[in-house]
Amino acid sequence: MLPNVPIRQWVLSLPFDLRVPAARDPRLVAACDRVLFEAIQRRMREQLGVARGRAGFVTFVQRFGGSLNLHVHFHVLVLDGLFVRTGKAAPIFVPAPAPTRVDLERVLVEVRDGITAWIAKHDAAADGDEPDALAGCAGIATQRGLFDVLGGKPAPDDDEPRAPGKRSASLDGYNLHAAVRIGADDDLAREKLVRYCARPAFALERLSVLRDGRVAYAIKTARKGATHRILSPVELLARIAALIPPPRVPFLRYHGVLAPASKWRKDIVPRRSEPPILLPAAACDHQPAHAAPPPPTPGQWRDEGGEARFVAGIVRAPLAAAARRRGRARPSSDHRRAPAPARRRPTARGHAASRLGHAPEAHLRDRRPRLPAVPRRDTDRRRDHRAGGHPQDPRPRARARGPSAAERCCGS
């Protein structure tokens, strides 16, 4: 999916006031993602001086933090450069210089202004909606909660930048971080980064049940010496319910040249390795059926036979090998199929048997047998019964009788 070019991770965190609206409104998430893409692409175009260069993004939308808290933020894998195309030639990748803190601040100003304008236009952060159960769960998941020390020293976590560094910036609650960069040929680090961005909301190995019935969740980053978050069972369920994304909302998004509708995608995204073409086996009898065919020559299918014979040989090769394994030969493609014998006209007996449903092939048909026709004369009825295997004369009727003595005594 990702071309063999350098990749830089950009992490955008929203202010605390926008976390619950972003968790409940997928439109706000899509707007934040689109504004961030446009701002980063505009910055790289200005740095490289390419007005029509195109960038490529893969966005992972995460709803969780490192301690079962509701925290909507964006992990964006950016192709660290722009693709430029001249005419109908293949796109060329132009690497971009590393962003400085000034560049990040400019991007962050554009992101803040774009999100604020979108909220003012759509009124996405209004509190006029009536709170429901999911809103209550989201409110619980954004609270600080109870932390305690249960022993052990946690490992450091890079999920949320704790202090502004060389390639990080903060503005009005927004935080932007772009310090992680993976080289073009470092496949192991690239896979590790993608797995980190696509990780689940929590790990079962970090959950434990205390003696009083409460649940302890080990956090990676110690907070004021605390190592675990202490939750009641109801609070744990509320936090997990808030971390579950809404249905039919994509949390993996593609932009730029990696978008599904991009016309440059087919020339940039690496294709799957196609299986090797099987050439027709040799005509000798001593060669086993599973032997590998010799490599093709450049002029193998350029003679009088043209390309048609070569393709036909590819199609017939697996069939011929299977026929040899079964011990019988398969007719060649020049063998014409014999014409089908002419259909015989059914006789009166066979026609009547088919009408009555007594034909031998009647049970093989994928339909119900036809109902027998109503005979018009007694001779037709006798002929139909005789053809169908029934006795010629109908079954005699029982003689009529009068009431018995018991029936006359009871008066019935």
pLDDT for res 134:
81
Structure-block tokens of residue 347: 């006789």
Q: Which two tokens stand for residue 213?
A: 């019935």
* Cα separation, 301 vs 305, whole angstroms: 7
pLDDT tens track for 351-400: 544 444 444 444 444 455 555 555 455 555 556 555 555 555 556 666 77
For residues 11 and 161, give the distance between their C-alpha atoms in angstroms, rounded to a whole number: 9
- CA nearest to 160, candidates 223, 105, 113: 223
Contact 259, 265 (CB under 8 A): yes
pLDDT average, residue stretch 46-72: 91
CA distance 412 to 404: 10
Query: In the structure, what pLDDT confidence band is assigned to residue 322 with cuts at 50, 70 and 90?
Result: low
Mean of the per-residue pLDDT values of the chain: 75
More confident residue, 84 or 308: 84
pLDDT digits (tens, 9 = 90+) for 46-55: 999 888 899 9
The pLDDT tens digits of the residues spanning 128-187 come to: 456 778 888 888 888 888 888 887 554 444 444 455 667 889 999 999 999 999 998 888
Largest alpha-carbon pair distance within the chain?
120
Q: Spell out a b/e string for 55-76, using b for 16 or more CB atoms within 10 Å of the CB, else e.
A: bbbbbbbbbbbbbbbbbbbbbb
pLDDT value of position 289: 44
Tell me what pLDDT residue 196 has.
Answer: 93
* CA–CA distance, 265 with 284 (Å, rounded to integer): 47
CB 300 within 8 A of CB 310: yes
- Is residue 277 pLDDT above 90, yes or no? no
State the pLDDT at residue 334.
47
Q: How far apart are CA 205 and CA 217, in angstroms?
A: 9
Pairing outcome for strands 215-223 and 226-231: antiparallel
Q: How many residues does the chain have?
A: 412
The whole-number pLDDT of residue 325 equals 57
Residue 268 has pLDDT above 90, yes or no: no
Return the higher-pLDDT residue of 96 and 318: 96
Q: Which two tokens stand for residue 182?
A: 């993976």
Q: How far apart are CA 75 and CA 216, in angstroms?
A: 27
The residues pairing with 13 across neighbouring beta strands, listed in sequence order, are 73, 175
For 271-284, what is the mean pLDDT? 52
Q: What is the pLDDT of residue 150?
A: 84
pLDDT of residue 214: 93
pLDDT at 110: 94
CA distance 81 to 47: 10
Percent of the chain with pLDDT over 90: 33
Nearest residue to 32 (alpha-carbon basis) of 57, 8, 49: 57
| Of 207 and 346, the one with more pLDDT | 207
Residues 170, 107 contacting (CB under 8 angstroms):
no
How far, CA to CA in Å, does 230 sit from each of 2, 135, 154, 233? 40, 22, 15, 10
CA distance 53 to 44: 9
Calculate mean pLDDT across residues 200-229: 87
- Which of 87-91, 94-98, 116-120 has the least mean pLDDT? 87-91
What's the pTM value of the predicted model, to 2 decimals?
Answer: 0.61
